[in-house]
Chain A
Amino acid sequence: MAESDNELLDRYAAGDESAFEELVRRHQRTVYDLAYRMLENHADAADLAQKTFVQAFLHHRTFRRESSFRTWLFQIGLNQCRNAIRDRARLTHADVDGLPLAAPQDTFAVAAAAELRDRLGWAIRALPERQREALVLRVYHNHAFAEIGAIMSCSEGTAKANYHHAVSKLRRVLVGGEERP
């Protein structure tokens, strides 16, 4: 049976280098995926994923183990993402509400798949930070809303609301058509 993250952390704290490698390998894809979905380019995602682990191991003694190590990594990773997004200002600040609506649904059949993907990526990048975080954690990492709240340092209800608003905005931009009253 595989060792738990906390057992590996204990071994790392005792100076066992193999525990360090095991912990990184166990979570590297998840942390990279989170970073990539928030920053949308490989170089930034790789850099940020490394920084996330460095911060975790630098401060591993402050991890109180009230949540899982994975959740803690997500918290650190999201903080790193926020800093990166603000510092580098690489993402658009356009408000998705201001984007033009897509063509009516009957013309979607002829729209190119690549164009749709680009539009989706653009719409995701234009989401407010918190909505985007909730969306990524829910859709791509299958977190429960309570866990999303823990990661984002907000209530479960706030996490749900952020997710709901994100999906609703994407629906308006991607699918188009008139909003119903």
Chain B
Amino acid sequence: MNCTDVKEWTVAYLELDLEASLVRNITAHLEGCPVCRDEMEAVRQVLVRLKRRAVPDPGDRFWNEFPDHVRHQLVHAQGEATPLQRPSRPLRLWTGIPVRSWPMALAASVALLVGAWMLAGVLEPRNGGPALKEQPVTQSPVEGKSDLPHIVEADWEDFGEEDPDMVLVEMASRLDRQTVDRLFGEI
């Protein structure tokens, strides 16, 4: 082992972060090399001075009040959370029973789909039935698209940032009004 090797391992040697065999070799070298001993001592002095650097104690009052400061900031931070980060708040229906909004949204979505499917079934021409198919369904302003998908897509985009419950209610009212106007007006 030469001086260059010892220099490379100086920090690890002082940190006791070396294998025993390596420690023995370095120790043996140090016994016969005053230059490396001086270097080792210089690095050790750096570590000693570093260790002596104390952080000033801010005092008991600071530590006693610290949890309250954290709590205050935490409450403030929770208040700043975006609506998507907040847990959904329970709605209170007319029964006074708190209900989470997402099951209501899911139920409303299912009801809408079933309603649309049933309406489509009612209006589908039957054998020998009224010649409804001779009455073309009014086309949406967008060519090639029927009214229903157009309404659904457009309304979701319009209400993307709104309360999902309100979006569904609004969509249901629009869908119902437009569908009734279109379908029953033609009948």
Chain A residues at the B interface, C-beta cutoff of 8 Å: 20-21, 24-25, 28-29, 32-33, 36-37, 42, 46, 49-51, 53-54, 57-58, 105, 116-117, 120-121, 124, 135, 138-140, 145, 160, 163-164, 167-168, 170-171, 174-175, 177, 180-181
Residue with the greatest number of chain B CB neighbours at <10 A, chosen from A53, A54, A116: A54
Chain A residues with CB under 8 A of B7? 180
Flag if B62 contacts A180 (CB, 8 Å). Answer: no
- Of B50, B55, B58, B69, the residue contacting A120 (CB under 8 A) is B50
Residue of B nearest to A119 (CB): B49
Flag if A33 contacts B12 (CB, 8 Å). Answer: no
Question: CA A23 – CA B108 in complex, angstroms?
Answer: 44
Q: How far is the CB of B52 from chain A (nearest CB, A)?
A: 9
Chain A residues with CB under 8 A of B35? 180
What per-residue 1/0 map shows which CB atoms of B44-73 lie under 8 Å from chain A?
Answer: 011101110101101000110011011101
B187 part of interface (Cβ distance < 8 Å): no
What per-residue 1/0 map shows which CB atoms of B86-128 lie under 8 Å from chain A?
Answer: 0000000000000000000000000000000000000000000
Known: A24-B66, A120-B50, A180-B7. A171 touches B73 (CB 8 A): no
Flag if B67 contacts A171 (CB, 8 Å). Answer: no
Q: How far is the CB of A3 from chain B (nearest CB, A)?
A: 16
Chain A residues with CB under 8 A of B43? 167-168, 171, 175
- Of B17, B50, B53, the residue contacting A145 (CB under 8 A) is B17
Flag if B12 contacts A164 (CB, 8 Å). Answer: yes
Flag if B50 contacts A139 (CB, 8 Å). Answer: yes
Question: CA A114 – CA B73 in complex, angstroms?
Answer: 37
Q: List 27 A-B contacts (CB under 8 A).
A: A20-B67, A20-B71, A21-B71, A24-B66, A25-B66, A25-B67, A42-B56, A46-B66, A50-B69, A51-B73, A53-B70, A54-B73, A54-B77, A58-B74, A120-B50, A121-B53, A124-B50, A145-B17, A160-B17, A163-B11, A170-B50, A171-B46, A174-B45, A175-B46, A180-B7, A180-B35, A180-B39
Sorted nearest first, the 5 A-B pairs with minimum C-beta distance are A24-B67, A175-B42, A53-B70, A36-B55, A164-B11
Flag if A171 contacts B12 (CB, 8 Å). Answer: no
Question: CA A32 – CA B55 in complex, angstroms?
Answer: 9
- Residues of B1-35 whose CB lies within 8 A of A: 3-4, 7, 11-12, 15, 17, 35
Known: A117-B53, A120-B53, A139-B50. A28 touches B67 (CB 8 A): yes
Q: How far is the CB of A73 from chain B (nearest CB, A)?
A: 12
Interface size class of B (residues with CB under 8 A): 20 to 34
Flag if A160 contacts B46 (CB, 8 Å). Answer: no
Residue of B nearest to A21 (CB): B67
- Of B4, B47, B78, the residue contacting A167 (CB under 8 A) is B47
Flag if B58 contacts A46 (CB, 8 Å). Answer: yes
Residue of B nearest to A36 (CB): B55
Chain B residues with CB under 8 A of A121? 53
Question: CA A124 – CA B52 in complex, angstroms?
Answer: 14
Chain B residues with CB under 8 A of A170? 46, 50
Residue of A nearest to B55 (CB): A36
Question: CA A120 – CA B49 in complex, angstroms?
Answer: 8
Question: CA A105 – CA B112 in complex, angstroms?
Answer: 85
Known: A53-B70, A164-B12. A58 touches B46 (CB 8 A): no
